[in-house]
Structure 1
Amino acid sequence: MDAREAALRQAYGHALGWLASLADRRVPARASVEEVVRALGPELPDGPGDPAAVVDLLASACEPGLTAFPGGRFYGFVIGGTEPAALAADWLVSAWDQNCVLRAASPAYAAVEEVAGPWLLDILGLPDGSSVGFTTGATTANFTCLAAGRDAVLRKAGWDTARAGLAGGPAVRVLAGEQRHMAVDLPLRHLGLGEPQLVPADAQGRIDPDALARALADGQPAPTLVVLQAGEIHSGAFDPFPAAVRAAREADAWVHVDGAFGLWAAASPAHAHLTAGCAAADSWATDAHKTLNVPYDCGLAIVRDPSAVRASMGLHGDYLILHEQGDPSDKVPELSRRGRAVPVWAALRSLGRSGVADLVDRLCRHACAFAEGIAAIDGATVLNDVVFTQVCAAFEDDERTERVLTRLMDDGTVWISGSQWRGRRVMRISVSNWSTTDEDVERALAAIRRAARTA
């Protein structure tokens, strides 16, 4: 057995052990950063070591500091697990070690993108022929789409951003709901557009389309981007797309939808009504690691007009072997990158259309079970309309809510984190993992009841 095979076998054993532990292990990590640093050994060795021994040290030292994100009892953030076929495919991605930039360099990877992209458009109910780029996550997907939108509206105004930059050009106006996610603000900052103009939203976080129309009509016409939302991070609410898109179209604005986890509602016949009218936008961002449950990192940047994203992301180099049909590099900001489309293809091929719908429906069913169970606890109130996978609850006051959250984390059965929403300290539950079972939900509710009794 050579060194590579020995190291891989060691990693395989540790990986199986980790995955087997998820059903019963404490969800929060048991060790601190400092403890893991000591176990790893902060001093760089003077010479080479056995690769298998290095893998063994890494796994053994890190295991106590791992949080059970992939398990069925983590509800702290919108974090999916990893569906089995997608996990195995991702191992192949690392072993194949392809730089997934050019069709000529890796025909296999380009082929996987060409198959997976149309499947995604079909599943998500988005326009045929749209560009599908595979990014690091939803934030970079938002960046890619908003870059395409920024440059497109400036071209309409007679300004070439690629040639002239932003300095001296027309100002670009960006409007978003007041409860938009920070993954919108950060890309806007990177794109030189600054903070968005905020439009009022209702109690669930849905943008007010009438207020949007008034804001768009106010002032002098300007190149404009409108950012809508599929899945508010606390309530799970969806913007009223038909009316909001109509208002944006009347102002000749580019419409972008941030659908990090909520865009997947379109895959379920029972929940597709939440995304009605969404397909009329110009671009969409989502994260396959969330609701679809593929490994990190895998955002999706979808743009209706492929030429728009290619104008913003495409590049030329004398040494590059560019293809007349386009390359994966035309759709995303990075050059060197891993084959993110491979685990997406594997998840979709493994689940099929009905399997993706069942996955979405199951997550939503668990969220409803959480809401029903929490509402029955003395002093607890569910604050949102549970329409998708998010549940927000509070107890009598912020102090008791915080005590319940603290006791939950000390208990270790689940990870349920707190947040601030609508002026209150809240318990926020995000149901995102394919492996969550009815039993996991009941164990979580039992832990919440225990925490509430002692808080």
Structure 2
Amino acid sequence: MKDLLEDAARRAIGYLEGMGERRVAPDDAAVAALARLRVPLPDGPQPAAQTLSELDELGSPATLAMNGGRFFGFVIGASLPVSIASNWLTTAWDQNAALHASSPGVAVFESMALGWVLELLQLPATAGGAFVTGATMANFSALAAARHALLRREGWNVEADGLFGAPPITVVIGEEAHPTLLKSLGMLGLGRNRVVRVPVDGQGRMRADRLPALRGPTILCTQAGNVNTGAFDPFEPLVAAAHAQGAWVHVDGAFGLWAAASPAHAGLVSGMAAADSWATDAHKWLNVPYDSGIALVRDAQPLRAAMAISADYLPTESEFRNPSDYTPELSRRARGVDVWAALRTLGRSGVAALVERCCAHARHFADALAAEEGCQVLNDVVLNQVLVSFGDADRTRRVIAALQQEGSLWAGPTVWQGRTAMRLSVSSWATTDDDVTRSLAAIRRVTRACASSP
């Protein structure tokens, strides 16, 4: 076992140390080599060291360098070294993070991490929370709490009696709501199409002046950080209007919620703390390993009511917090420990510096590309997102494809209010000034080559 784990550590360290100079996207040969994996299930065992060797030799070259400084394709944070190390250690612990009685260490680490997250994001210290897989399940969990609370007001126990015959819940979203929010609504039985959509402005912000009257049990879903532009809904007027009409306000803030940790950007979330629930991802801007979403609810009771279960064989009676009382899962990995490790290492100022450094890199990209002939920045760069058009849709797609093929950086396509664009998402602690300079040089080189080609 020792030799095997030491070999795994050596291979992982080698992979990470080579991140800065390798292609960001795998080359064609590495992808083609994956065909060697398509073999029948083996009849018998083989040495574990041979399995690890195959995993490294075939798997490592076929990855995208998401843990490096020049991956801008999605809002993905490279894992901090301490969070990789904590992840390895907690995997060795192999704890089921469900109950305090069965895994007291994990339960305490997660409880501490939850309190620190609330403090860092300037949310109520008494709020309840859950460490889940990602923003989809964070939205699902928070909205399950909303569903419970609203229907309880109407005298309906949704967990016991389901939605058949229940009072209807109206869900109001912005036109730019993220698809994972809609997926969550579908899983909750609230419907992906049974939503009222509010128009947005040119940056994707919900227009408070177009908010309809909210009657009966209603959830208003707002957004902190549009996935294309980084823009924030105007929380103060939206929350005030919704609460005045008895509605529950939810904030989908997969990456944007972390703006609250930066003094330079906290103004973007003004009024957000008055909402009733929030969803975010630690594997985005806190830069911990996958998977790590966080659901937060102002009043912990509805979240617990929506999620807690018991059974004769489960030691759920405890004076301490049982993590599974707040999560969709019973069995799950101790993902909150990685959050604790990141926050314990960075501290308040370190998280602020991480957010501000990424935003500064995004502004550098935007300023430099706006000055280039044939390039147009389509959004107000208020956070870490930059949208760039290189002319018409065909030329923009050709530039993106050529950049991905070249391998100097990786950015992906999007369509923003009818315009095809390249989206640069700067979310990684590993991105340096040199990474931005190298990436800009590649964009200029490829853009000019595409301009000169028929």
Which residue does the alignment assign to 1:353? 348
The range that moved more, 375-384 or 27-36, is: 27-36
- Superposed CA deviations along residues 229-262 of structure 1, whole A, max 9, x for unmatched, are 0000110000110001011112211110000000
- Superposed CA deviations along residues 298-322 of structure 1, whole A, max 9, x for unmatched, are 0000011111100000101111101
SS of the residue 2:264 aligns to = coil
What displacement does 1:93 show?
1.1
Which residue does the alignment assign to 1:155? 152
Which residue does the alignment assign to 1:72? 69
What displacement does 1:90 show?
0.3
What displacement does 1:36 show?
4.1
C-alpha contact 1:40 1:58 (8 A) present in aligned 2: no
> Are residue 179 (structure 1) and residue 173 (structure 2) matched?
no
Calculate the TM-score normalised by the size of structure 1: 0.96
The one-letter code sitting in structure 2 at the alignment partner of 1:44 is L
C-alpha contact 2:365 2:436 (8 A) present in aligned 1: yes
C-alpha contact 1:392 1:428 (8 A) present in aligned 2: yes
The one-letter code sitting in structure 2 at the alignment partner of 1:43 is P
- Superposed CA deviations along residues 393-435 of structure 1, whole A, max 9, x for unmatched, are 1122112211211221121100011111110110110001110
Which residue does the alignment assign to 1:210? 209
The one-letter code sitting in structure 1 at the alignment partner of 2:249 is V
- Matching residue within 423, 444, 447 for 1:452: 447
Percent identity of equivalent pairs: 51
Matches within 5 A, 1:9-408: 9-31=6-28, 35-40=32-37, 42-195=39-192, 196-212=195-211, 215-217=212-214, 221-322=215-316, 323-408=318-403
C-alpha contact 1:31 1:64 (8 A) present in aligned 2: no
RMSD: 1.2
C-alpha contact 1:178 1:199 (8 A) present in aligned 2: yes
In 2, the alpha carbon distance for the partners of 1:80 and 1:349 equals 18
Classify 1:258/1:357 alpha carbon distance in 2 versus 1 (closer, same or farther; 3 Å): same
Segments of structure 2 that go 5 or more residues without pairing to the other structure are: none
SS of the residue 1:338 aligns to = coil
The one-letter code sitting in structure 2 at the alignment partner of 1:206 is R
In 2, the alpha carbon distance for the partners of 1:142 and 1:82 equals 23
- Superposed CA deviations along residues 130-153 of structure 1, whole A, max 9, x for unmatched, are 112100011100000001001110
What displacement does 1:216 show?
2.5
> Are residue 412 (structure 1) and residue 411 (structure 2) matched?
no
In 2, the alpha carbon distance for the partners of 1:290 and 1:236 equals 13
C-alpha contact 1:10 1:56 (8 A) present in aligned 2: no
SS of the residue 1:405 aligns to = helix
Which residue does the alignment assign to 2:422? 427
C-alpha contact 1:73 1:441 (8 A) present in aligned 2: yes
What displacement does 1:387 show?
0.4
What displacement does 1:336 show?
1.1
Classify 1:249/1:434 alpha carbon distance in 2 versus 1 (closer, same or farther; 3 Å): same
- Superposed CA deviations along residues 344-370 of structure 1, whole A, max 9, x for unmatched, are 000001001100000000000000001
The one-letter code sitting in structure 2 at the alignment partner of 1:295 is P
What displacement does 1:32 show?
7.0
In 1, the alpha carbon distance for the partners of 2:283 and 2:255 equals 9
Segments of structure 1 that go 5 or more residues without pairing to the other structure are: none
The one-letter code sitting in structure 1 at the alignment partner of 2:287 is N
The one-letter code sitting in structure 1 at the alignment partner of 2:128 is S
C-alpha contact 1:148 1:308 (8 A) present in aligned 2: yes
In 2, the alpha carbon distance for the partners of 1:388 and 1:27 equals 24
In 1, the alpha carbon distance for the partners of 2:433 and 2:186 equals 42
SS of the residue 2:213 aligns to = helix
Classify 1:109/1:56 alpha carbon distance in 2 versus 1 (closer, same or farther; 3 Å): same
C-alpha contact 2:279 2:294 (8 A) present in aligned 1: yes
In 2, the alpha carbon distance for the partners of 1:37 and 1:354 equals 43
Classify 1:182/1:39 alpha carbon distance in 2 versus 1 (closer, same or farther; 3 Å): same
In 1, the alpha carbon distance for the partners of 2:28 and 2:341 equals 34
Classify 1:233/1:159 alpha carbon distance in 2 versus 1 (closer, same or farther; 3 Å): same
The range that moved more, 406-415 or 36-45, is: 36-45
In 2, the alpha carbon distance for the partners of 1:38 and 1:453 equals 36
C-alpha contact 2:399 2:446 (8 A) present in aligned 1: yes
In 1, the alpha carbon distance for the partners of 2:12 and 2:321 equals 38
- Matching residue within 413, 417, 434 for 1:439: 434
